[in-house]
Amino acid sequence: MKTLHVDLGERSYPIHIGQGLLQQADLILPHIHGKTTVTVSNETVAPLYIDSVHGLIEGIENTDVILPDGEQYKTAETLGKIYTQMLQAHCDRKTTLLALGGGVVGDVAGFASASYQRGIHFIQIPTTLLAMVDSSVGGKTGINHPLGKNMIGAFHQPQCVIIDTDTLNTLDDRQLSAGIAEVIKYGYINDADFLQWLGQNMDKLLNREPEALAYAIYRSCQHKSDIVAADEKEAGQRALLNLGHTFGHAIETGMGYGKWLHGEAISAGMVMAAELSREHGWLSDSDVAGMRSLLNKANLPVAPPAEISAERFSELMSIDKKVQDGVLHLVLMKGVGESIVTSDFDHGALQKVLARG
Ligand SMILES: NC(=O)c1ccc[n+]([C@@H]2O[C@H](COP(=O)([O-])OP(=O)(O)OC[C@H]3O[C@@H](n4cnc5c(N)ncnc54)[C@H](O)[C@@H]3O)[C@@H](O)[C@H]2O)c1
Ligand SMILES: [Zn+2]
């Protein structure tokens, strides 16, 4: 087992990564202070792993809340159901919430814990690769609103994160690859050595070799936690985590949510960011080809869908612009493993990249 610490002063917490961690009660028990827990999961993940979680907290009074599966349930209505079941079970301010599942469960359950009785402790037990390397670390919690994704939420850090790599054995191949897109993203943000390692070990990751998975997750969480520790509330540097995301969000929205997985859209989005960086002379043709080949190896898309025109792309990307005081900021690459956040890019070059899609 490997352990990392997210360094946030009083709100610091450990991330444990390894095989068989859902059998190790000593990792979780020190973080449960009251006499009660609520375990939030969904109807897909609960049948697979909730018994193991129950085994970890034997003797503690626990209530299960099982949500329907899907991003469409990351809503205020679901949140209301969690509150209701917690109130019915007499959960109090000392109750600890355990979030068992992918990013959807982590986000909505995390927000329930941020707001129930003004905030209770929670523990993340992520079971998708995306949740392990991204959503379970950093304290962003929330739900969707009919008018926008992730529009309602709070920063609320967990007490600890428990990553049992064995849970990835039941994840389908497409979800695994989507998670690998976010892993590759960390390499392009600031870790060229990691990119090299990923190039050499992609088959092992796709074959779910535990050592390779644990290493990739560890290194990804290290990057995420370093960035979060430096900029918890996203005043600046944390925006680097959005590499490929402005383009990717446009793909997700443009295609209709659910058609492309988030990680797939991010994969094509990173290629578009790389192409724009090449237009500025910051990346070479072979750098861009190298990115395509790595993403290809991970069975990820390397171009946006032809259905989205350049005009539609611009329109969709202006949503991100509105979020940033009217100026579009993009994460671009000054070199391989050297990303920057900038609003200073050539708009003609951007149009050229969008038109290629
Ligand atoms: N809070 C953050 O910082 C942050 C960061 C990135 C993404 N997110 C959010 O995360 C969500 C996406 O997360 P996701 O990709 O994990 O999707 P998800 O939670 O929908 O999980 C994907 C699918 O895999 C299933 N599943 C989960 N674990 C499994 C397992 N071990 N075996 C078999 N099936 C399993 C789920 O039930 C679901 O059907 C989005 O809502 C996104 O907004 C949040
Ligand atoms: Zn993402």
Give per-residue pLDDT as tens, 270-279: 999 999 999 9
| Whether pTM exceeds 0.85 | yes
Kindly identify the ligand whose nearest atom is closest to the C-alpha of 42. 1
pLDDT score of 80 more than 80 = yes
Residue 74 has pLDDT above 90, yes or no: yes
Of 249, 278, 292, 329, which residue is the catalytic one? 249
Q: Is 307 a catalytic residue?
A: no
Where b means 16+ CB within 10 Å and e means fewer, 333-353 reads beebbbbbbeeebeeeebeeb
Q: Tell me if residue 224 is catalytic.
A: yes
Q: Which of 175, 186, 252, 266 to mutate to test the pocket of ligand 1 (most atoms within 8 A of CB)?
A: 175
pLDDT in tens, 223-245: 999 999 998 888 788 999 999 99
Contacts 24+ apart (CB under 8 A), 118-121: 118/93, 119/156, 120/91, 120/93, 120/94, 120/95, 120/96, 121/31, 121/32, 121/33, 121/95, 121/96, 121/97, 121/159
Q: Is 118 a catalytic residue?
A: yes
DSSP result, 285-332: HHHHHHHHHHHHHTT---S--TTS-HHHHHHHHHHHHHHTTT---EEE
Active-site option among 42, 62, 144, 242: 242
Q: What is the pLDDT of residue 235?
A: 79
Q: What is the pLDDT of residue 122?
A: 98
